Amino acid sequence: LQFLYFIGGRNMAVRIQGSHVYAGHPHGREYSDLLFLSGVGPEDADGHIPGGPMRDQERRPLNYDIYRQTHATIQNIRRILEKNGGGMEDIIDVQCFLVDMKRDFKDFNKAYREGFQGYAPTRTTVSVRELSTGAGVNIKIIARKPDSKIKVSDVTTVRANAAPKPVGAYPHAKRFGDLLFISGMGPRDPQTNKVPGGPIYDSQGNPCEYDVAAQTRSTIRNIRLVLEACGAKFEDIIDCNCFLVDMARDFKAFNQAYKEEFGGVAPTRTTFSIRNLPTPIAVELKVIVRAPESSIRAMDAQVVHTEGAPKPVGAYPHARRFGPYLFISGMGPRDPATNQVPGGPIYDKDRKPLHYDVAAQTQATINNINTVLKSCGTDLSAVVDIQNYLVNMPRDFEKFSAVYEKNFGGKFKPAATTMAIRNLPTPIAVEMKCIAMAPQQAKL
C-alpha cells in the first residue's frame, strides 16, 4: 500500500499495488471526510480485461462478457477500499458508465446486485460512447474516508415511497454528514409508470416523438419528491449533473424548462449527451444537496460567478462553495473574451465536421477552470476529483492525456475519470467537471 501525504494526511492521494491504474491517475484521493476514487474498470494489474475487451486492436467489435467485467470491476473496487483501510460499507455514491446499455444493462444489473449485496449506495447509470481502456463498464465511487469522524452507522439511507421505483438495487438517497446524495432521477410518473411527454422509443425499439420539456419538468418534480422524503429543500441543491440522449434535438427546450423549474436556485451544473439511459427516456438528473439540519447554514453555501471565465450556457453559476468543498460547473475551452474555441470548433453551424486541435482545447479548458479557482482564492493544486468528457476518444485521448498530465502531473493528483460522451452543448471536443478544496483548506 503506497500513500502520498499532504498536510498530515488530511489530503491524500492513494495508490494501491497490484491494481491497474491508467492515464496518470491515482486510485483515489482522500479529502475531508470523503474518499474519491478514480473511475474503476475490470482491468487486472497487467491491464487485461476479464470477460474480454469490446474491440480488437483494429477496433473491430468482439464478443465480450459484461457480467464478468462488472464482477471484476466490483472486485477491484473492493480491493482498493480494503487496502486503503476501508470496505464496501463505506461507499456512499456510485456512478456507473456502460458503453452498450441496450446489450448489457440486464447482465450488468445482475452482477451489480450480487456484488453490492448488503450495501446500498446511491446510483446513476448512463451509457457513454467509449471508455479509455476498451472495457464495457467503469464505475466511479465516492466513499467515506476510513478514519472519518462520521461513522458508518451515522450514514442514512432513504427510500422515497412517493418517487419512481429505482431500476436496480439502490436507494433514492443517502445522507452523509452535511451532504445528501440523490440517485439519478428520470421523468417516470410514480403513479402510472408512464413517461410524461412520451418515451423516446417503443417496446420494439422504434423511435418515437417525445416532449423533452415535459420530461425535464417531470424529472425535477420527482427530485422534489425525494427531497421531501429526506426532509430537504429544493433550494438546497448544490450540484447537478444533467444527462441528455439527444443534445442537438433537445438542449434548447431542456435548458428553458430547467431555467423555469430551478428559478432562483443556482446549483453548479454539467450537461452532456450520452448514448442511452436504462429506460426509454431522454433526460436524467443527478444532484447533491445540503442535508437537512446541516451544520453548514444555507446562507454559507456561496454562489460564485467569475469575471474572466466563459459565460455558462444555462442558468447556473461557475462554482458553489459548501463547507470544505468547492464544486465547479462543467467547463469547456471557450475564450471568455472572444467566445471563440481555441484550436477550433469540432463542427460548423451546419454541423459539418471540422479539423480541430484537442490539445489547444484541453489547455484552454484547464486555464478556464484555473480562472474560476483563482477567483475563489485557490488554484489547480486544490482539485481533488475530476471528470473528463471527450467527444472523440480514439482520435483525441493521447493528446488530451499529454496536456492533462502536464497540468495535473504533480505530487497530489486528483482522482480522475475519463470517458467519451456523445456530445456537449456547444461544438467543443472536451469538457471537465471538478471538486476542489475550499480556500481555507487549500491554503493550510
Cα(428)–Cα(358) distance, integer angstroms: 9
Categorize the per-residue pLDDT at 3 as very low, low, confident or very high, splitting at 50, 70 and 90: very low
Asked whether the predicted pLDDT for residue 428 surpasses 60, the reply is: yes
How far lies 261's CA from each of 63, 164, 213, 266, 425, in Å?
A: 44, 19, 10, 11, 19
CA 112 to chain centre: 18
Mean pLDDT of the chain: 93
Categorize the per-residue pLDDT at 20 as very low, low, confident or very high, splitting at 50, 70 and 90: very low
Q: What is the pLDDT of residues 235-281, one digit of tens each?
A: 999 999 999 999 999 999 999 999 999 999 999 999 999 999 999 99
Torsion 272-277-280-283 (CA) sign: negative
Count of CB atoms situated within 10 Å of the CB of 145: 22
Categorize the per-residue pLDDT at 7 as very low, low, confident or very high, splitting at 50, 70 and 90: very low
Q: What is the pLDDT of residues 346-403, one digit of tens each?
A: 999 999 999 999 999 999 999 999 999 999 999 999 999 999 999 999 999 999 999 9
Q: What is the pLDDT of residues 47-82, one digit of tens each?
A: 899 999 999 988 899 999 999 999 999 999 999 999
* Region class of 205: left (phi > 0), else alpha (psi between -120 and 50), else beta: left
Cα(104)–Cα(117) distance, integer angstroms: 20
Q: What percent of the chain has pLDDT over 70?
A: 94
Q: 3-class SS at 161?
A: coil
